[in-house]
Structure 1
């Protein structure tokens, strides 16, 4: 079966299902299929993403501060050892 006939057959089946089903059933079935498909993927909600972005930004800020503090301490130590 070539791709054109496959998609034409698929389109025909979808059209037939749409014509023979009430709109609410179609919407419910499409949502269920999409939810099931998305659950197989490794996705996170927008809320979870935003929270993790905030945590990452805070962690980066703390890391930058620690790197600066470490550089200052290293320069102090080097100055003391030079004396």
Structure 2
């Protein structure tokens, strides 16, 4: 498995990572690894835009009611 070394991390960042690690019952290294893995699995901007476009296209030419109007009506009850 590959390794990375990150230098010059601000002390406040380390403190916050340690706090997160403690909350998740992990070591500092385990917490950093978890954060990196989650970030690497997140969709890129382009992937997210492609997915959003696909969802929009799945609705076709359907028109939806004005949700602002519905919310106002509900609040006025």
* TM-score normalised by the chain length of structure 1: 0.29
Q: Larger % of helix: which?
A: 1
Larger Rg: 1
Taking CA–CA contacts closer than 8 Å with sequence separation of 6 or more, which of the two structures ends up with the larger relative contact order? 2
